[in-house]
Structure 1
Amino acid sequence: MSIGDVAHVSAEITYTSKHSVEVQVNVMAENILKGAKRLTNRATLWYVALSLENVDKVVEVPSIQYTSPEQQEEGKKRYEAQKLDRLETKQRSEDIILPVISVDRQSKEPYTVGYSQSSLIHLVGPSDCALHKFVQGGVTMKLMDEVAGIVAARHCKTNIVTASVDAINFHQKIQKGSVITVSGRMTFTSNKSMEIEVFVDIDHVMESPKGKTPAATAFFTYVSLDKEGKALPIPMLKTETEDEKRRFEEGRNRYLHTKAKRMAQVQKGHCLPIHE
C-alpha cells in the first residue's frame, strides 16, 4: 500500500468454538485518482472471550449461523490447525533469545545470526492498553514487526518490507507498568526472502522473584526490494552453531510448506503472490 491510497478494511466472524472466535480481515487499497482497487493484505485472527468481572475467567462464545455444513467444517479444520500450532509454539517459547541491546558489530561476521540479532526494551504505558489495563495485541505486533524489520535491514542493508507473519501467538497478558523485551534473530534465508523469529518477554519489575516470562512469539518473513519494487537476492545466512543449523532447517521446512500453501491460494484467487 502506498502513500495516498485509501484503505478499506473489512472484517467478519467466520467461525466460533466454545471459547474462541475466528475473524477474517481483508484490506483493499484504492487509488482515488484512478478509482482502481486492489487487495493488499489478508489475515485471520483468533480471539478468546474473557469475563469483564474477572479477566482470568474464560467465558463461552455465542455460536454463529453458518451458510452451509461445509463452511462450519472448514472453520473447524482451521480451528484445530491453529490450536495445534499454538501448542507447538508454546513449547518453542522455552528457547529464549538473550537480549542484545548494544553489540560491537565490527567484531561480528556479516550475515551471521549474531550480526543482525536485535532487541528492544519497552515500558508499557496507558496509551498501549485497552480494557483492564492490558496491552492491545496490535501494539505488541507493531513492536515485533519493528524489531524484525531491524534484523532484516541489518542482514541485507537494503529496502525491506514485511511479506507475511506466521501466527503471532500470545501466551501471557501484558499489564500496564510491565517492561517487555522484544528480541529478534534471523533463522532462515531463501533466494529472495528471509525469516526472523521474534520473542516478547515480560519483566515483572515490581515482582522480581518471578523473573521474565514469555508473552508472545512469531515468525516474520521479509523481502528486499529495489527502487522499482522488484525483489532483490538475499545474502545467505551463515550458521555457526548446531542450534542455528537446526533452526535453519526448521525454517526451510516452514518456507516450503508456506510456499506450497500460498501457491494453492493464489490459484484460487484468495492470496497475494509473494516475491520468490
Structure 2
Amino acid sequence: MILVTGATGSVGGEVVDRLLEQGEKVRVLTRNPEGARRWAGAVDVVTGDLSDPGALGPALDRVDRAFLLLVLPGVRQAGPIMDAVRDAGVEHAVLLSSIRAGSAQDSALKQVNLAAEAAVRESGLGWTVLRGGTFMSNTLPWAASVRTERVVRAFGGGFRSSAVDPRDVGAVAARVLADPIPHRSRTHTLTGGEVVTITEQVAVLGDLLGEPVTFEELPEAVTRAAMVEQLHYPPALADSMVTMLRNGDESLPRVDGAVAEILGRPPRSFREWAADHIEVFR
C-alpha cells in the first residue's frame, strides 16, 4: 500500500493517477475528502492532517511506501511525522522538497525545506528526495485577468526559472514509489528543459490564444504586502519570495536532466503545458 499526502494538489493528484495506472494500491490522506471523489472506489481515503502526527495511525496502517509533503501550512515540525511514519512500519519515503533547498543563497524557504529533508534522511527509512523546480501551474492565478482583460499583473516579469510541469513531477514520484530501490538515498532535482521568464510565458499564452496578452509590472511593495496580508505568508517567507522574483537565486535557472533520466523522455515545455490548459485562460 502506498500513502499519498497532498493528493488533491497538482502534483499529488498526478502521483495518484500514475500509481493507479501502474496497478498499485493507493491510500490518500486529505483534509478535504470531497476533493478525492474522482477516485471513488479506486483508492482508500482517510480524512486527516499531517499537523497532528499522533492521529496518523489509520492513514499509515499497512502502508509500506509514502509520498510526503512536509512543508505545508500548519505543519511545524517534520520530525514527529517521520517518527509516526517509521513506527508504523513504512519502508520508503519519497519527499517532495524544493529546488531552493540546494541553493547557495540562504532563505527562509531554503531552511524549511532543508529541515524537512533532514527529518526524512534521519528517520532510518529508505528515502528519496525530489527537489521540484518552479511549477508551470503557478501561472494559473493569472487566468481571471487573462480571460477578462488579456493582461497579467505581477511583480518580476524578468524572473527566470527552469519551470517544470507538475505532471512530470508527479510521474517521477510515481516511478520512484513503484520501484524505490534504484532511487534509495538519492536526491533528484526536477526541472523543465528550458529557462523561461514570466514575460515569455505571457507571450506564449497570447500566441496560443491568438491575440496579445500584455504584462503589467506590479511594485515590489504591493506584491510583498499581498503575500503577507492575503496569502498569510510569514514575513521572512515573503522576503524570500520577493528576492527570488528579483532573480536573486541562481539555483532557479538551472536545467537538470533527472526528469528525462527517470521518465525516458524530455520534460514537457511551458508551451506544451499551456496548450493543455489554454481553455482556463480563454
The structure showing larger relative contact order (alpha-carbon pairs under 8 Å, at least 6 residues apart) is: 2
Which structure has greater strand proportion?
Answer: 1
Relative to the length of structure 1, the TM-score reads: 0.27
Larger Rg: 1
